[in-house]
Structure 1
Amino acid sequence: MRRLLTVTLLLLVALTLPTEATRRAKNHKGGKHEKTRPASECSAAETQYGKCVPEHGDCGDGLREATCRDQTNKIHCKIPCNWKKDISDCKYKFGPWGSCDADTNTKSRSGTLKRALFNAECQPTVKVSKPCSPKVKKTRGQKKSN
């Protein structure tokens, strides 16, 4: 009887150890931050970051230099494909689009600085423009005409 109890207890311990190890591995919150953080003891305030340079084209995954004291590391970064290249490290709060300028066929809006990423030097306000849409927007009550 004692032998059966010992074997049962050993089997129970042997079955719970692998499940505990996989639970710890699943709850590990590493991933993205480990890949992008420089491998030095420097704080973010001490580190100077360069511009994000995409690997292919104008946007997507890329690399940026992070320099602290006399160490320079390359860290991963990403430039969104729908974002402006010259203000990519600066985040702005934009107002609504203005009306279409018939002379230039563009509409514009301005934005005020919300925050600067990676100690970037940002302009306090920016103005962006885009071509006017050729489609005329309809109000909700209008129906299609055939």
Structure 2
Amino acid sequence: MRGLVSVTLLLLLALSLSAEAGRGKGKGNKGKPDRAKAASECTPAETEYGKCIPEQGDCGEGQREVTCKGQTNKIHCKIPCNWKKDISDCKYKFGPWGPCDAATNTKSRSGSLKKVLFNAECRDTVTVSKPCSPKVKKTRGENHTLIYYRQTGL
């Protein structure tokens, strides 16, 4: 009888271990295409990347086609929802924002090319603009002077 119980326990243990091992497969992938497969089979020179196409609208989560040795896969990508969406596959080193142009109510800055992603065609330098902040920043001295005048009545 003891032998039968021991064999049953061993079988249950083996079944639970195999079920646990099967459950862990593909856990980190979450239904996304395997990027490592395309990368391991081809060199960067052989790999062609398509443009990132957002799932909804003109920015956000999307997919891009990757072609390698006649095989085409889709990989996950993301287009920023701000001024960077036109240059999302090109990385630039930007300088500080310039002063606000009162005529257009925008400020701009330029950047030089730092890194190219996905074999994109990138310009060596770019200039980007954004609206000026509607708030006027006060310096610390202006704020203290105002308090002083209120307290003294001057």
Q: Structure 1 length as normaliser, TM-score?
A: 0.71
4+ long deviations beyond 3 Å: 28-32, 143-146
Shift of the alpha carbon at 1:84? 2.0
Seq. identity, %: 71
Which residue matches 1:107?
Answer: 107
Of 26, 35, 38, the match for 1:37: 35
Alignment of 1:4-15 (within 5 A): none
Which residue matches 2:123?
Answer: 123
1:88-131 deviation digits (Å, cap 9, x = unpaired): 10111111100011111111000111101111111010000011
Shift of the alpha carbon at 1:31? 4.0
Q: Relative to total residues, which structure has the larger helix share, 1 or 2?
A: 2
C-alpha contact (below 8 Å) 2:48/2:67 kept by paired residues: yes
> Following the alignment from structure 1 to structure 2, what is the Cα–Cα distance between the partners of residues 45 and 36?
19
Aligned residues: 143
Of residues 127-136 and 77-86 in structure 1, the stretch that sits farther from structure 2 once superposed is: 77-86
**Structure 1 pair 57/106, CA: closer, same or farther in 2 (3 Å)?**
same
Q: Which has the larger radius of gyration?
A: 2
Q: Structure 2 length as normaliser, TM-score?
A: 0.68
C-alpha contact (below 8 Å) 1:38/1:73 kept by paired residues: no
Unaligned runs of at least 5 residues, structure 1: 1-10
> Following the alignment from structure 1 to structure 2, what is the Cα–Cα distance between the partners of residues 36 and 83?
30
Which residue matches 1:3?
Answer: none
Unaligned runs of at least 5 residues, structure 2: 1-8
Quote the RMSD (CA, aligned, Å): 3.5
Shift of the alpha carbon at 1:82? 3.2
> Following the alignment from structure 1 to structure 2, what is the Cα–Cα distance between the partners of residues 109 and 89?
19
Of residues 73-82 and 87-96 in structure 1, the stretch that sits farther from structure 2 once superposed is: 73-82
> Following the alignment from structure 2 to structure 1, what is the Cα–Cα distance between the partners of residues 83 and 100?
21
Which residue matches 1:90?
Answer: 90
> Following the alignment from structure 1 to structure 2, what is the Cα–Cα distance between the partners of residues 73 and 115?
24
**Structure 1 pair 136/36, CA: closer, same or farther in 2 (3 Å)?**
farther
Amino acid at match of 1:57: G
Which residue matches 2:5?
Answer: none
1:5-39 deviation digits (Å, cap 9, x = unpaired): xxxxxx9xx99xx89xx7xx98x99548x745164
Shift of the alpha carbon at 1:58? 2.0
